[in-house]
Chains A and B, each alone.
Chain A
């Protein structure tokens, strides 16, 4: 009988112990692991923190002036002159197709509509809640935005608007620019603009905008080279 009793008490202790262990995993720190053989990375993780890097940041800045494949630097400087230049001369390299506009609308809704509003009249939710003020409408006559000025503002930011070059790539920014011009046209009550017909073979969708621009660069350089050589002579 004594043995039975001690067995009873022992099982009680075991239950309490199990309950105690289950409650061990606090929410402030990660749970314990059983033989974490390949849990910790040997290589450097993308956002990792390592002592050998500057600021312990694994993400290091590329050398200034280098150009990766599929990307071309933006030539217009972040100055009032550069802005005026881009406004007058910078053209959208993407054709105005329905596909580009749908993509542009999706991106616009994510990145721009919080302040500029779904219709571009400068009444996004942040403006309506009076968090950010002074957002102009796209049909503002004093600003008279163009594709080039829209792209320039997205790339560098303008006054209190920050740069969106981090969140979007070149093609995406041009798609947004297409959609912004559509909104501007609607606000001004203009007639609906027609979509451009695109020859699929001539403009393959897969090529990134940067590559396209690089190719154009090359072609225009080749075209101008004979002229420059003659002037040199």
Chain B
């Protein structure tokens, strides 16, 4: 009784706690929104132009090669109005190669310094556009917003943060129970004192047989207990034998800490972007490092908001550095050294060699979602095997799933004949012969 009450209290409390946490998180977001609103007002006072407009132009036209505060393909732009005069900057942006051809010493020097990479002309930018861009890049480098990241961390942790508050609640419950015990003990003691004072004799307990002796002498109880124990042993032994060779939950440590949570979850990159061969091949391969470099040529460090309590920004940046090491990419010089070391990923989902599984006919033809077999992969920081991948698991799905016949001319005739034979509208994989041994085991 007491336990159930305690259970109920802990439940309702944790729900309250979660409500509070989410309220906190939304509050943080509001504060963030206000924060981000402020600096634009201050910086609008710059004499060059409108930095907000400049930022949007910069992000769409310039940011492919330039960053405000660090070198990219082109030089860092912060401080450029100090290094060069305005007329020169305007002429350079509108047509840099013409300046170089004229033999302008500054222009030639920059051209030589940055590997003779020509900057494309931007005749479409007006003078005020260029001034807006300059106003944006001349803003002092913003301090890392510590408040904001803390808020982000809290908001991110609110999902798992439930564990902490549950611990606190349990601690409070234990405290309450101990207090109750103490109170009961005290009440008992005072009652005894009263009894003594009023001359009532409390009946003494008589020592009986020890409980185990009584138990052993009762043959019926003994029989029932041994039957229960036998059943229990059978249950556990069977359970033990049934999990031999099942790798559900297998979660090895990979050579690079690749986070599906960040890529597929936060950034909503489609699964087939990296695992592109799932569409066409039996194997849904691990992407080659060239796919990594499609994006990570420009993304060399994670943003502070990505870091969690468990994994810091430094940790993630180090993992990206491991990628650069494997492909031989020099981020400072933006060149490949040619020294490649393939990353030895650890394969998690393994079928025995005598089973044939084809990704493309499940993904492209049947349209099965990735999560159906691989679990909530977009929430996994480190990937584990979600499904057991046992034969019973495969067959279950083949019994319950209907074949996607619409728009597939291969099935036109077969559907007509088989649905007549079985008397059904839609055919499951099993009715199509998806349980035959040779379909998967040859």
Which A residues form the contact surface with B (CB < 8 A)? Answer: 1, 4-5, 7, 11, 14-15, 18-19, 21-22, 25, 27-34, 36, 38-42, 46-47, 49, 55-57, 109-111, 114, 122, 125-127, 129-137, 141-142, 157, 159-164, 166-169
Contacts and interface: CB of A to CB of B under 8 A. Distances in A.
Contacts of B120: 142
A60 to B, nearest CB: 12
Interface string B233-251: 1001101100111110111
B108 interface: no
B299 A142 contact: no
B353 interface: yes
B252 interface: yes
B347 interface: yes
Given A18-B236, A135-B60, A166-B288, A39 B352 contact: yes
A18 B122 contact: no
Given A160-B64, A160-B298, A14 B233 contact: yes
Interface string B247-290: 10111110000000000001111101100100010010110101
Contacts of B226: 7, 11
B245 A34 contact: yes
Contacts of B268: 114, 125
A173 B176 CA distance: 68
Interface of B: 59-65, 73, 120, 122-124, 216, 222, 226, 229-230, 232-233, 236-237, 239-240, 243-247, 249-253, 266-270, 272-273, 276, 280, 283, 285-286, 288, 290-291, 293-295, 297-299, 303, 340-342, 344, 347, 350, 352-354, 384
Question: Majority SS of interface residues in chain B?
Answer: loop
A121 to B, nearest CB: 9
Given A4-B216, A57-B342, A166-B288, A18 B240 contact: yes
B123 A142 contact: yes
Given A131-B299, A133-B64, A167-B273, A38 B240 contact: no
Nearest to B297: A160
Given A110-B273, A131-B267, A142-B123, A18 B237 contact: yes
A111 B272 CA distance: 8
B249 A166 contact: no
Q: Which 7 A-B pairs have the closest CB atoms?
A: A134-B64, A133-B63, A162-B294, A134-B63, A167-B276, A41-B353, A18-B236
A110 B279 CA distance: 11
B298 A132 contact: yes
Contacts of A109: 270
Contacts of B269: 114
B285 A18 contact: no
Nearest to B121: A142
B370 to A, nearest CB: 12
B73 A159 contact: yes
A110 to B, nearest CB: 4
B207 to A, nearest CB: 21
Nearest to A126: B267
Nearest to B225: A8
A32 B240 CA distance: 12
Max count, chain B CB within 10 A of own CB: residue among A126, A137, A168: A126
Given A25-B243, A29-B252, A166 B276 contact: yes
B354 A38 contact: yes
B28 to A, nearest CB: 18
A210 to B, nearest CB: 14
24 contacts: A11-B230, A22-B239, A27-B384, A31-B243, A31-B244, A31-B247, A42-B353, A46-B283, A47-B285, A55-B340, A57-B342, A110-B270, A110-B272, A125-B268, A132-B299, A134-B60, A134-B64, A142-B120, A160-B64, A160-B65, A162-B297, A166-B290, A167-B273, A168-B276
B352 A136 contact: no
B233 to A, nearest CB: 6
A141 B125 CA distance: 12
Given A32-B244, A42-B353, A166-B276, A134 B59 contact: yes
A114 B270 contact: yes
